[in-house]
Structure 1
Amino acid sequence: MRLLVAGVLVLLLSLPLSAQRYTTVRKFPLFQEPDLHTFVIHFPTEYDAYNNLSERSPWYLPMLSRWKYTFVTDESGMARTATIRYADTTWKPLIDRVVVDNQAGKQGTLLMRKVVPVPEDWYGLQVFIHFDYLTVPVTIWVNGIRIGVSRTANWGCEWNITPYLVFGRLNAILLQCDVDQVSSVELGNTWLYAFPNVAIWDFSVNWGKNSKNKPVVEASVLAKAFLPGIDDKFTVEFQLYNRRGQQILVDRRKGVKPVEEKWITFKQVVPECHAWEADSPYWYTALFLLKNKDNETVDAIKYRLGMRTITVNDSALQVNMRMWPLDSVQRTNIYRIRPTFLINYPYRWLIYDLTPRPISGDELFKAIEKQVLTYRNYTPIAAWQVSIPLPADQRQKIIEHIRKLDISRPILWDNLRE
């Protein structure tokens, strides 16, 4: 009898512990929409980062397919719609991530839904959902919980959804879209990605020359702590490899406290210099590592970089001493460019239009900031362009704002340098 009672007690004590793994994280507070950054995929080890494509990371989960959508006129049952138990059998499949002809929103609120399994071994990591863009304002729900609203989803957005997930189980993602006065809705590339509670959050790389006219690379790295109470010191390391796989430089900074969220800058002479050209791209591979006090890699990211210098005059871009007429350079924008880590062929020099759609007020500055922060490390972009007419004072503010975010590219306004 005593053995039976003891066994029951052990079982009862174990139940809250196992449930805690999946449910107590829901008690965390809501997160604000974070500032955007260069989107990179994280790896658990230096070896994995160097030897694998970003899409092969165990901390990356694409969500490109199997979305469903419907229109509703009653929003009172939204939380139930966003749960895993909700039956969406009458919803339509989303083809090519585009909802076409919604009669200018007359059918009500657009809902897009997807059920995704979150790996159990992601438990203990931070998990973000990222949208390249969504062409309407959106409210995001996860497992029946409303987590936030983005009014500038047109220009990309992401959210920390860690507290709302059930690890090792299916999870429901619901997008509640404001479709007033639009005839179609497009959902850009979407994915989940994970990283440790202390991780590399952003970086910026610029190329130039020193006083002796030797090529130099300047890399700035931002490490960040995502949980309170992490006051440990870490080492940030920057490595650069040529396209033959040879390490040509390495630099590190010890005693970094990610909780302080300070940028760390490395500036080194590049021993061998090969310019990146659209018709003959020479890629360098950069590794950014975050190591603990035992010199163990906590987080690793990889990014391919190309060395180039860019100037512009009234009619042409000068890239690496070669002239390219502005009319011959391909234009692109957020709706036509692929994610920066999914490098595609063929390569072309690009002029990136930051304003492909009408926008004004505070949203204009936010939209420009989001796009520049996202794509400033993407080598094929040769210049930024603002293509909407604005008053001179606002125009100057935008130019100054862009230059604070990226000093390596000229800014075009009606094909003129600013």
Structure 2
Amino acid sequence: MQMIGPKQVRQSNAYSRLGRMFFPRVLLLHAARKGGKFVLANKNGLQPATQKKYCLKTGPGHLILNVMKNQLKKILLLFLLAQTALLVPAQQPNNDWENERFFEWNKESPHATFMLFDKKADVAKDDYSQSPYYKSLNGNWKFVYVDKHADRIKDFYRTNLNDASWTSIPVPSNWELKGHGIPIYTNIVYPHAKNPPFIGDDNPVGTYRKTFTVPQAWAGKEVILQFGSISGCAFVYVNGQKVGMTKAAKSPAEFNITKHLKKGTNLLAVQVFRWHDGSYLEDQDFWRLSGIERDVAIYALPKISVWDFFLKGDLDAQYQNGLFSADVTLRRFAKSANNSGTVVIDILDKQGNTVFTQQKRFSFSSDTLQTIKFEGTVANPLKWSAEAPNLYDCIITLKNNGTTYAGAKIGFRKVEIKNAQLHVNGVS
């Protein structure tokens, strides 16, 4: 039997382009002559060559395959369909709540949870209501609910929209627990149509509106809008202007709304879609609840402010003295008048005695963020453990066109793995 390899197989000129486009597997077949008859061979062995699909003709040293008329019709039809598809306009982009590439917009970067105070003693109390830089927006908000996203109010952010007929809902809360929609408990079964990243038509929407005023003492400061958590895809507007979007539940979402504010009454409008592309990542064993479910507030920051910090309390190798380190990140907003100042860190024990203090100067050039590092030793501190959770107050003082205070509680401990055992402060 004489085998003719793929490189020796030639298609007739009339069908070569279409054949390569729609019948590429023909080029993977071997042709063989056996007992005066031609057969086609593939990985499954020799197969008789029939006239139903191919007409075989021999020539000197090669094999010519012609496609029969019925196959030609199918090829031409597929070719025309392919050419027509090129003329069809591109698919419209996904809805924002069904676009996995668009998971947030205009959100501030995450940072440590803290509040600025004007009194050093208030940092230890950590009562935000005592800060002149904080204002809660919790309470009753205007609210309207629909079962399908197509029925939502699309111009909900308009300042002249009449919302007198809307119901009210307490914020924070989940709207399913206030008579709107149904709480859903499920584990591995999706509570919505399964076609990622799409959700479908049955996507409930809750729309919120709230009016508020900004304290006069905040003039010249940056104003940040903070949501403790929104379950769902939320679009946020202030005074008719879009200020941001977020899809991340169970974590804060912050937006700088300074340029959108005005004197007197301001309007905050939020529209929340219960399901979105990120809902496919939440296929867990828990209750599906929606809405603005944690505290909402606005807070003010000076043009240069503490923005973030990382505090670490460790112990030396003898578990005797405390090793303290800190990274304090300052943020300079636009139009700041004074670009230099001082940062001081103090560590206080339960009696209010200072056990550590360190001061460093800073100066901004063109950067908007600057991190200042601190480190030092605290002699023989009370150690932090589950049995004795001793904590200290770490106070961060910023001096720049005034003085502000921030901070958090810290403890000194060392956690290690020794001989496959967990050790805390040297004890297994």
Please classify the TM superposition score into its range, dividing by the shorter chain length: 0.5 to 0.7
The number of aligned residues is 287
Question: What is the distance in 2 between the residues matched to 1:280 and 1:289?
Answer: 29
Following superposition, the deviation at residue 237 of structure 1 comes to 1.1
1:190 to 292, 296, 301: 296
Question: What is the distance in 2 between the residues matched to 1:223 and 1:123?
Answer: 20
Contact persistence 1:230–1:259 (CA under 8 A): no
Alignment match, 1:205: 311
Unpaired runs of 5+ residues, structure 2, are 1-104, 183-191, 193-200, 280-287
Residue 257 (str. 1) matches residue 364 (str. 2): yes
Q: How does 1:9-408 map to 2 (within 5 A)?
A: 32-46=106-120, 49=123, 53-71=127-145, 73-80=151-158, 83=159, 86-94=162-170, 97-100=173-176, 102=181, 106=202, 108-167=204-263, 169-180=264-275, 184-186=289-291, 187-210=293-316, 214-228=321-335, 230=337, 232-257=339-364, 260=367, 261-292=369-400, 297-311=402-416, 318-321=423-426
Following superposition, the deviation at residue 62 of structure 1 comes to 2.3
Question: What is the distance in 2 between the residues matched to 1:277 and 1:55?
Answer: 31
- One-letter identity of the residue aligned with 2:135: L
Contact persistence 2:235–2:245 (CA under 8 A): yes
Shift of the 270–89 alpha-carbon distance from structure 1 to 2, 3 Å rule, reads: farther
Contact persistence 2:348–2:354 (CA under 8 A): yes
Contact persistence 1:37–1:202 (CA under 8 A): yes
Question: What is the distance in 2 between the residues matched to 1:114 and 1:316?
Answer: 54
Shift of the 172–266 alpha-carbon distance from structure 1 to 2, 3 Å rule, reads: same
Q: Percent identity?
A: 20
SS at match of 1:192: strand
Give the helix-richer structure, 1 or 2. Answer: 1
Contact persistence 1:69–1:92 (CA under 8 A): yes
Following superposition, the deviation at residue 47 of structure 1 comes to 5.8
Shift of the 98–285 alpha-carbon distance from structure 1 to 2, 3 Å rule, reads: same
Contact persistence 2:345–2:395 (CA under 8 A): yes
TM-score normalized by structure 1? Answer: 0.61
Contact persistence 1:235–1:252 (CA under 8 A): yes
Give the strand-richer structure, 1 or 2. Answer: 2
Q: Deviations over 1:36-86 (max 9, x none)?
A: 000210123546546773431111122332234212524432221xx3874
Shift of the 153–123 alpha-carbon distance from structure 1 to 2, 3 Å rule, reads: farther
SS at match of 2:382: coil
TM-score normalized by structure 2? Answer: 0.59
- One-letter identity of the residue aligned with 1:208: D
Unpaired runs of 5+ residues, structure 1, are 1-30, 324-418
The Cα RMSD (Å) is 3.1
Contact persistence 1:71–1:107 (CA under 8 A): no
Greater Rg by CA: 2
- One-letter identity of the residue aligned with 1:251: Q
Following superposition, the deviation at residue 229 of structure 1 comes to 5.7
Question: What is the distance in 1 between the residues matched to 2:419 and 2:109?
Answer: 34
